[in-house]
Amino acid sequence: MIKAGIIGATGYVGTELVRLLKNHNNVDIKFITSQSYIDKEYDSIYENFRDVFPMKCTEQNVELIANEVDVIFMALPHGIASKEIDSKILEKTKVIDLGADYRISDREIYENWYNTSHLSSELLDEAVYGLCEINREKIKKARLIANPGCYPTCSILTLAPLFKENIIDIESIIIDAKSGVTGAGRSLNIGTHYTECNESMKAYGIASHRHTPEIEEQLSCIANNNVFVSFTPHLIPMNRGILTTSYAKLKDKLTYEEVKKIYEKHYKDEYFIRLTKENVLPETKWVKGSNFCDIGFKIDDRTGRIIVVGAIDNMIKGAAGQAVQNMNILFGLDESTGINGVSIFPV
C-alpha cells in the first residue's frame, strides 16, 4: 500500500483527491490537512463522505508528514508549496504539487506572471512537468512533480501532435477556453456567487491569465521553437468541465484523414486520450467525472486553418485525476488504476 498525505484536503481539488485516493485499492490515506478545519471530521465538511470517511483534518505540518508517507499531494494556492518543499522533504517522500509553483521552469517568468518571489527556485530544474502523456518517462524517475494546470492540460494535449509534426504556423495559435465554475475554487467571491454567475458568461484574464506562460513553455518545448499564444479563458455557468477551441494556420493543405493519422500516431495507445469520429465533436458531459481527454478537429479549407476542440473534467484530468495518474506512474502501477471509470451521465 502506498501511504499518502494530502496537504490542503478541504479545497475542491483536495476533496477530489480524497475521493479518488479513498477508492484507490493501492493507497492508504494517512493524513489530510487543512487550515480552516483542523480537528474537524472530514464528513462534517464534505457530507458526501458521511459515515464513510470520518478522518480528522490535521495541521499542515509537511515535514512531519513527510516522515510517514510515500507520497505527498499538495493542493494549495500558488506560493505555499514553494515555501514548504525543499530537498530534505524530497529525500523522504515523493511530492506531487497540484499548485503552480513548479510548473514554469524559468524563475523570472514565474515571478513576473505570478507577481511573487519563488522560495525554492533551486528545485525548478529537478521538478518534472507532470503531463503524463507527454512526459511519462521523466515522471517515472521524478521526486517532485508539477501537476499541470487545468487549461494547460487540455490546451497542450489537443495541440501537441500538430507541433510535434510541425504542420502549423507557430505564430498563429489562438486558444479560446471555457471552464465551469469549480475552476474558481471554494473561496467566496462575488463573481462566483450563485446569482451572479448563473445564466451568464464572460471572458476574463484576457492576455494576462497565468496559464499562458505554462502553455507556451510546454508548446515551445514540443515545437523546439518559441511559441506565443493568445489564450482567453471564459467562465461558463456549469459546475465542471473545460472545453478548448484552438485555432492554427496549417502550413500546407492537409486532409482530415492525414491529420487524423497524426493524432493516432501520437495517441493511439493512450487510454485517457480519445479521438472523436469525424464530424463528432467533444462535449464536456462525455468526460465529466472521468480522467479522459476527448479531442476532435475540423479543417477549414476556406481559411487554411485547423480548429481543434478538446474536453476534460477540470477537477480530474485537469487536477486530481492527473495527480493520481502521476502517482500511478511513479509507483509502477497500471496508469489507469483507480481512475479508469467513465462519466456518469446525465449528472
Binding mask 294-333 for its own copies (x = CB under 8 A): x---xxx-xx-x-x-x------------------------
| 215 interacts with its own copies by CB under 8 A | no
Q: What does the alpha-carbon distance between residue 50 and residue 81 come to, in Å, rounded to a whole number? A: 30
| Nearer to its own copies among residue 92 and residue 249 (C-beta) | 249
Q: What does the alpha-carbon distance between residue 30 and residue 66 come to, in Å, rounded to a whole number? A: 11
Site for its own copies, residues 155 to 214, rule: CB under 8 A = 174, 176, 178, 180-182, 184, 186, 188-190, 192-204, 206-207
Nearest approach, Cβ of residue 180 and its own copies (Å): 8
Judged by CB under 8 A, the residue of 90, 127, 287, 323 near its own copies is 287
Q: What does the alpha-carbon distance between residue 192 and residue 112 come to, in Å, rounded to a whole number? A: 26
Strands lying side by side in the sheet with 144-146: 27-32, 2-7, 71-74, 94-97, 144-146, 128-129
Nearest approach, Cβ of residue 309 and its own copies (Å): 5
Cα torsion 323, 325, 326, 327: sign: positive
| 253 interacts with its own copies by CB under 8 A | no
Question: Cβ distance 139 to 128 under 8 Å?
Answer: yes
Size (the chain), residues: 347
| Nearer to its own copies among residue 223 and residue 309 (C-beta) | 309
Q: Which residues contact 55 (CB under 8 A, 6 or more apart)?
A: 29, 32, 41, 42
Cα torsion 207, 312, 126, 138: sign: negative
| Nearer to its own copies among residue 102 and residue 231 (C-beta) | 231
| 147 interacts with its own copies by CB under 8 A | no
Q: What does the alpha-carbon distance between residue 17 and residue 323 come to, in Å, rounded to a whole number? A: 8
Nearest approach, Cβ of residue 151 and its own copies (Å): 14
Give the residue numbers marked as catalytic. Answer: 150
| 86 interacts with its own copies by CB under 8 A | no
Which of 53, 51, 65, 57 minimizes the C-alpha distance to 33?
Answer: 57
Site for its own copies, residues 43 to 62, rule: CB under 8 A = 44, 46-53
| 37 interacts with its own copies by CB under 8 A | no
Quote the longest CA-to-CA distance of the chain.
62
| 220 interacts with its own copies by CB under 8 A | no
Site for its own copies, residues 9 to 28, rule: CB under 8 A = 12, 15-16, 19, 22-23
| 243 interacts with its own copies by CB under 8 A | yes
| Nearer to its own copies among residue 7 and residue 181 (C-beta) | 181
